[in-house]
Amino acid sequence: MDDRALLGGSLPKIGFGTADLSGPVDALVLCAIEAGYRLIDTAQVYGSEEGVGAAVQKAVAQGVVTREELFIQTKLAPDCHGYHEALRCFEESLDKLRLEYLDMYLIHWPVARGSEETYREKNIATWQAFEELKARGKVRHIGVCNFLERHLLHFTENGMTCPEVDQLEIHPGFQQRGLVRFCRERGIAVEAWSPMGRGILRKPEFEAMAASYGKDTGQLALRWNIQKGSVPLTRSSDPAHMALDLELFDFEIAPADMAKLDALNTNTDHQDIWSYKRQQMY
Ligand SMILES: NC(=O)c1ccc[n+]([C@@H]2O[C@H](COP(=O)([O-])OP(=O)(O)OC[C@H]3O[C@@H](n4cnc5c(N)ncnc54)[C@H](OP(=O)(O)O)[C@@H]3O)[C@@H](O)[C@H]2O)c1
């Protein structure tokens, strides 16, 4: 994988997501860190920042990892866009996470509900706060989620820096190829959310393909993402799955099988949520 696409090597090759975990977040995230995850993804809206903070504190106190070995990222909620709101929410998130600095701060969605007329100005003001936080050393990297080409270009067209990361829904059923290519060309690293594609590969044909590598279809979906150059963010409340989802670097999907997975692409097999529709319209 292109080293530039992993922020010069500082971005781990796989991350652990914390939206909708079934069980206590602190115990599950500690379990994930013990299993070997180093990138932990949370967000203001997930309500998991406090649990992540407790897990990180425990993992460091118990000598499982050092703070520097971890890559902790959180996201600014859509209804908190704007310069002052972003700075205030950042401090709140940092407090909940019990951290001195963040590894990555992300804007969660480009267009918030009710800000269809003002989202451009709000994104610019938010980004100004993000750039300041980075300059002050409070955050190592700054990025966005779910931004399309036009949303990304808006920053550079206004003389601002380009986001370092775009976190996007990506799996064999919804590959966003044009957007991913656009990011690659500009050195924007791509993180993949919902990398399993809500079970798209759970069919006899793909179960047989996964078995031919000695893997399950979840691992096949994650490995497909890695070979495509993205950083998958997996999520599991099951310690057995957590361990399996890290076993991705002892096999390679052959070109013919990659072609079969690539052929599953559609423009429609994505989450059906209001924020997606808004993002497409503006
Ligand atoms: N930026 C955004 O807008 C955005 C949106 C959505 C998500 N995200 C981030 O991305 C993360 C991942 O997304 P997601 O939660 O939708 O994704 P996912 O990892 O594609 O799917 C999670 C599901 O896969 C199952 N699973 C995990 N490993 C498995 C395996 N080896 N075999 C079979 N099933 C397996 C889990 O069940 P078990 O618990 O039983 O293992 C869980 O039900 C989120 O937690 C969040 O951090 C970001």
Per-residue model confidence as pLDDT tens digits over 12-51: 999 999 999 999 999 999 999 999 999 999 999 999 999 9
d(Cα 281, Cα 176) in Å, to the nearest integer? Answer: 16
The residue written with tokens 């299993």 in the block is: 35
Q: Establish if 55 belongs to a structural domain.
A: yes
- Token readout for 190 is 């791509």
Whether 46 is a known active-site residue: answer yes
What was the pLDDT predicted at 176? 96
What secondary structure letter does DSSP report for 216?
A: -
Regions in the chain scoring below 50 on pLDDT? none
Residue 251 lies in a domain: no
Residue 130 domain flag: yes
pLDDT of residue 280: 81
Q: Please count the CA atoms within 13 angstroms of the CA of 142 that sit on its side-chain side.
A: 24
User: From CA 17, how far away is CA 39, in angstroms rounded?
Assistant: 9
Residue 91: its pLDDT value, please? 98
Helix axes 49-61, 25-35, angle to 10 degrees: 50
Nearest ligand 1 atom, CA 244: 31
Does any domain span residue 276?
Answer: no
Rounded to an integer, what distance in angstroms lies between the CA atom of residue 92 and that of residue 84?
Answer: 12
Can you tell me which residue has the tokens 């429609």? 268
Q: Which residues contact 95 (CB under 8 A, 6 or more apart)?
A: none
HSE value, Cβ hemisphere, 13 Å, CA-based, for 14? 26
Residue 167 Cβ contacting ligand 1 at under 6 Å: yes
Q: Within a 13 Å sphere around the CA of 232, how many CA atoms are in the beta-carbon half?
A: 26
Domain-located, residue 82:
yes
**Structure confidence by residue, pLDDT tens digits, 178-200:** 999 999 999 999 999 999 998 88
Report whether residue 194 contacts ligand 1, using a CB cutoff of 6 Å.
yes
- In the chain, the number of structural domains is 1
Give the span between the Cα atoms of 20 and 24, in whole angstroms: 10
- CA-nearest residue, atom 41 of ligand 1: 236
Residue 155 belongs to a domain: yes
- Name the one residue in this structure whose structure tokens are 């989450």: 271
- What is the residue range of 104's domain? 3-199+229-237
Gap from CA of 240 to ligand 1 centroid (Å):
14
pTM of the model: 0.97
Ordered DSSP codes for 231-276: EEEE--S-HHHHHHTT--SS----HHHHHHHHTT--SS-S---HHH
Q: Give, for ligand 1, the residue of 28, 45, 145, 235 to mutate: max count of ligand atoms closer than 8 Å to Cβ.
A: 235
Q: Is residue 258 in a domain?
A: no
**Is there a domain that residue 208 lies in?**
no
Query: What CATH number is given to the structural domain containing 108?
Result: 3.20.20.100
Q: Whose CA is nearest to atom 19 of ligand 1?
A: 234
The rounded distance, in Å, linking the Cα atoms of 190 and 219 is 19
